[in-house]
């Protein structure tokens, strides 16, 4: 069973995503105002969001223009530009040509039409054809060879500088439904200039590694004998869901927020707050995943350059899936359709791009007091807001969870197909794990960066770092059992870059020092992170320079409307040095300020046979937990479950059995 929020004809709130009509109007105004040609493409069209102060003024009655941000690329010349279109006034309010042909500036994200064009360019190149023929591929095979155009990275070579390029690797397939990743063509890499429309560099290694031919397909026809003991599992809510939806606004179990969506980030949560004592209390003004990077640990020709920035180089929102009931989401589902623009700037609807539903999550709180027979337990329920994006071989799910006790969680789900390397029979693969005969999986890391524009109880916020330390033996610790918590205030941006530490239980707290809670302290939220490895690439490596945000778990910056992304605006073919490491060098004050907390988290993956042909989901994420934000456990008022196994029914059953002389074993 499902419900929909379909694309609206009109925006009703300043944070609502652009409507189809607004997308069309923004593109038309820009085309007319700047005389754009037929060769211009539109890698990004999104709402130019108002800031906190602008929204506050709007609520007080001030006018607020409806703005669209439009990124363009001339496919004939490679010239890129940014524009802000004032939809309220019907004019181009700002326009600038980007220096994307100069270092260290990068390129706009790769578009769908460029993926298709890159394959055509590669297959038409005589050098590439000769290289694959040497590896046992026949002319008859070439139409079915899979070409993966991959964001290229950057290494300072002439064909990279200021150029719009991709590096392309190839996979043999005998049939269109074959899993190409089981058959990598090793030692051949084509560099494609997407503006010149030609291969500008070709790697054709001297060593010939046989192409693995064993099929490892994953379509359902590859597994005709399925399990017969999986019984139906039905999730029913006969009285409907506990949430309400009004356009893009959602309310559930005292929570309130607005849903947004951008081509780069995908799902965005706006104005997330919770009602406490009859008052809506802000927690986060804006939350999203702004970037990913996936660096590989194989130094050979097909792999050393792989380090996809999946948000900045492709666009998580642009690659969002149409979610399916019963597969991606289970239960009573509410889907949100998302208005979007294609490469030509034409509006279209991304059906079922966002899924929202409730889940049972086990025990929330419980106690049995044997002295007086009080037995109370409450089950936890959480609200799930999610979307999935497929970026080449990998599939990523992004799941925001809200809990009835005030907890917030983000969970990234990693699945899909690993990158593979062909291995000469009889040899071992030194850069990862073997997944099948003649087939290796390179070791790699996945990093995500969540941007949390905090707003705890409104006003200025302060971030503090905390950890636990044992107290030395002494008069105040005669038994050696005392330990203390140590904290420090992050006063300026350069105080903030930090690593998680499992040994000391290091955590961070965002509080509002201008407000006192029920025990006289500042109300706050605790950021609970996992002490997983950060980026292991060497300092000075190009991937470390380009993805410096993944070198630390935590960063805190003063809010700046221009600092939207952890890797900077344009990481594609970028020489590096931008993003968070550059933002914090300004060393602005962040105590009692409008702050943004950025958290880098991820998964380090050594490939194994169980990861193929489709990798079971791996999980990564973090929690925000109330820490002095409420005066008590706010979930105490949850009603007890009413079912056949409730305490009341058990007591009635026990009474009947005592009366009849029977017994009961639980």
Name every residue whose Cβ is closer than 8 Å to that of residue 238 and which is 6 or more positions away in sequence. none
> Which residues of 217-278 form beta strands (DSSP E)?
244-246, 249-252, 255-262, 266-276
Contacts of 111 (CB under 8 A, 6+ apart): 41, 43, 73, 343
Q: How far apart are CA 142 and CA 145, in angstroms?
A: 5
Residues 6+ apart with CB under 8 A from 644: none
Tokens of 554: 């935590």
Residue with tokens 């419900």: 3
- Give the number of other CB atoms < 10 A from CB of residue 267: 26
Q: Given this model, what pLDDT does residue 661 score?
A: 37
The CB-based long-range contact list for 609-613 (8 Å cut-off, 24+ gap) reads: 609/433, 609/434, 609/435, 609/436, 611/418, 611/435, 611/441, 612/182, 612/216, 612/417, 612/418, 612/435, 612/436, 612/439, 612/441, 613/179, 613/181, 613/182, 613/216, 613/217, 613/218, 613/417
Q: What CA–CA distance (Å, rounded) separates 331 from 365?
A: 24
At residue 44, φ and ψ (nearest 5 deg) are -155, 130
Rounded to an integer, what distance in angstroms lies between the CA atom of residue 602 and that of residue 620?
Answer: 6
Local structure of residue 473 (DSSP, 8 states): S
Work out the angle at residue 471's Cα, subtended by the Cα atoms of residues 470 and 474, and round it to the nearest 5 degrees.
145
Count, in order, helices (H) and strands (E) of the chain: 7, 31
What pLDDT score does 664 carry?
A: 30
Contact between residue 510 and residue 455 where contact means Cβ atoms under 8 Å apart: no
Q: How many CB atoms lie within 10 A of CB 475?
A: 5
Q: Minimal CA–CA distance to 199: which of 153, 155, 154, 152?
A: 152
Q: Which helix (H) or strand (E) holds 240?
A: none
Whole-number Å distance between alpha carbons of 147 and 165: 15
Q: Are the beta carbons of 573 and 164 closer than 8 angstroms?
A: yes
Angstrom distances, CA of residue 405 to CA of 352, 365, 490, 532, 552: 29, 10, 28, 26, 29
Q: Apex CA 512: angle with CA 276 and CA 548, to 5°? A: 115
Find how far residue 166's CA is from the centre of its chain.
Answer: 23
pLDDT score for 304: 98
DSSP tag of 30: H
Phi, psi at 654, each rounded to 5°: -60, -40
Return the bridge partners of 394, or none: 391, 416
- Give the residue carrying structure tokens 């008590």: 632
Long-range own/partner contacts, residues 372-379 (CB < 8 A, 24 or more apart): 375/647, 376/640, 377/640, 378/635, 378/638, 378/640, 378/641, 379/641
Look at residue 576 and give its three-state secondary structure: coil
**What radius of gyration, in Å, describes the C-alpha atoms of the chain?**
27
Tokens of 401: 């969870």
- Alpha-carbon gap, residue 48 to 25, rounded angstroms: 14
Q: Active-site residue among 16, 178, 310, 569?
A: 310
Pairing status of strand 333-341 against strand 2-5: parallel
Which segments in the chain show pLDDT lower than 50?
A: 644, 649, 652-653, 655-666
pLDDT, tens only, 255-283: 999 999 999 999 999 999 999 999 999 99
3-state helix, strand, coil in the chain (%, to 5): 15, 40, 45
Residue 647: predicted pLDDT: 52
* Three-state SS annotation for 123-189: HHCHHHHHHHHCCCCCCCCHHHCEEEEEECCCCCCCCCCCCCEEEEEEECCCCCCCCHHHCECCCEE
**466, 443 Cβ separation under 8 angstroms:** no
Phi, psi dihedrals of residue 527, rounded to the nearest 5°: -95, 115
Backbone angles phi, psi at 485, to 5 degrees: -105, 135
What CA–CA distance (Å, rounded) separates 516 from 617? 42
Burial, 129: exposed, middle or buried (Cβ in 10 Å; 0-12, 13-18, 19+)?
middle
pLDDT single digits (tens) 611-624: 999 999 999 999 99
Element (H, E) at 494: none
- For this structure, is 310 an active site residue? yes
Reference 204, options 297, 299, 126; nearest CA is 126
* Four-point Cα dihedral 577, 579, 581, 587, nearest 10: 120
For 406, residues 6+ apart whose C-beta sits below 8 A from its C-beta are: 274, 625, 626, 629, 630, 634
Residue 666's pLDDT is what? 28
Strands 421-422 vs 439-442: parallel, antiparallel or unpaired: antiparallel
Query: Residue 463 and residue 489: Cα distance in Å, rounded?
Result: 6
What integer pLDDT is reported at residue 642 of this predicted model? 79
Cα 317 to chain centroid distance, Å, stands at: 10
Helices (H), ranges, 578-646 = 580-583
* Residue 624: φ, ψ to 5°: -120, 120
E-assigned strand segments in 404-482:
408-416, 421-422, 432-436, 439-442, 444-454, 462-470
Question: Which listed residue (105, 171, 314, 394) is catalytic?
Answer: 394
Distance CA(648)–CA(284), nearest Å, equals 40
3-class SS of residue 96: strand
Give 449-468 pLDDT, tens digit per residue. 999 999 999 989 999 999 99
């Amino acid at each position: 069973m499902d419900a929909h929020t379909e694309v609206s004809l009109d925006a009703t709130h300043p944070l609502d995503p652009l409507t189809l009509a607004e997308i069309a109007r923004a593109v038309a105004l820009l085309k007319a105002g700047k005389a754009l040609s037929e060769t211009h493409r539109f890698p990004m069209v999104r709402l130019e969001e108002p800031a906190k102060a602008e929204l506050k003024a709007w609520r007080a009655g001030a006018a607020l223009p409806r703005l669209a941000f439009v990124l363009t690329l001339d496919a004939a010349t490679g010239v890129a530009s940014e524009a802000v279109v004032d939809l309220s006034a019907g004019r181009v309010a700002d326009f600038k040509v980007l220096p994307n042909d100069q270092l260290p500036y990068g390129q706009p994200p790769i578009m769908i039409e460029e993926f298709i064009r890159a394959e055509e360019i590669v297959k038409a190149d005589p050098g590439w054809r000769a290289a694959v023929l040497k590896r046992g591929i026949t002319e008859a095979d070439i139409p079915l060879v899979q070409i993966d155009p991959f964001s290229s990275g950057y290494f300072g070579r002439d064909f990279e500088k200021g150029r719009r390029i991709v590096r392309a690797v190839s996979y043999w397939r005998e049939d269109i439904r074959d899993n190409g990743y089981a058959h990598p063509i090793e030692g051949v890499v084509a560099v494609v200039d997407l503006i010149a429309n030609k291969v500008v560099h070709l790697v054709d290694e001297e060593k010939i590694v046989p192409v693995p031919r064993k099929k490892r397909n994953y379509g359902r026809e590859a597994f005709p004998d399925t399990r017969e003991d999986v019984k139906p599992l039905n999730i029913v809510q006969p009285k409907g869901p506990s949430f309400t939806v009004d356009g893009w606004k959602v309310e559930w179990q005292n929570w309130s927020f607005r849903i947004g969506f951008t081509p780069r980030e995908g799902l965005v949560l706006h104005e997330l707050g919770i009602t406490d004592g009859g008052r809506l209390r802000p927690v986060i003004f804006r939350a999203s995943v702004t970037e990913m990077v996936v660096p590989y640990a194989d130094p050979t020709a097909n792999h050393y350059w792989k380090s996809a920035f999946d948000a900045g180089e492709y666009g998580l929102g642009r690659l969002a899936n149409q979610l399916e009931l019963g597969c991606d989401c289970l239960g009573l589902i509410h889907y949100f359709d998302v208005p979007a623009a294609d490469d030509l700037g034409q509006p279209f609807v991304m059906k079922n791009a966002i899924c929202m539903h409730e889940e049972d999550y086990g025990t929330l709180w419980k106690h049995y007091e044997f002295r007086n027979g009080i037995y109370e337990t409450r089950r936890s329920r959480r609200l799930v807001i999610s979307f999935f994006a497929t970026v080449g071989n990998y599939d990523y799910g992004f799941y925001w969870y809200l809990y009835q006790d005030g907890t917030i969680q983000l969970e990234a789900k990693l699945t899909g197909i690993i990158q593979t390397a062909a291995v000469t029979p009889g040899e071992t693969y030194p850069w990862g794990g073997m997944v099948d005969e003649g087939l290796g999986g390179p070791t790699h890391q996945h990093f995500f960066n969540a941007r949390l524009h905090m707003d705890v109880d409104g006003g200025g916020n302060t971030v503090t770092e905390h950890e636990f330390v044992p107290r030395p033996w002494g008069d105040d610790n005669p038994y050696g059992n005392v330990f203390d918590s140590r904290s420090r205030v992050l006063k300026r941006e350069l105080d903030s870059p930090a690593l998680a530490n499992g040994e000391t239980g290091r955590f961070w707290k965002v509080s509002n020092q201008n407000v006192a809670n029920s025990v006289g302290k500042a109300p706050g939220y605790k950021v609970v992170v996992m002490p997983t490895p950060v980026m292991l690439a060497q300092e000075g490596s190009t991937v470390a320079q380009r993805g410096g945000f993944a070198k630390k778990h935590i960063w805190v910056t003063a809010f700046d409307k221009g600092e939207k992304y952890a890797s900077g605006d344009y990481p594609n073919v970028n020489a590096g040095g931008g993003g968070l490491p550059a933002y914090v060098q300004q060393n602005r004050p962040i105590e009692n300020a409008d702050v943004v907390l950025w958290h880098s988290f991820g998964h380090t993956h050594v490939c194994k046979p169980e990861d193929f042909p489709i990798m079971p989901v791996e999980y990564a994420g973090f929690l925000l937990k109330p820490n002095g934000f409420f005066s008590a456990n706010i979930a105490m008022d949850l009603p007890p479950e009413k079912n056949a196994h409730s305490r009341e029914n058990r007591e009635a059953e026990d009474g009947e059995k005592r009366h009849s002389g029977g017994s009961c074993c639980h």
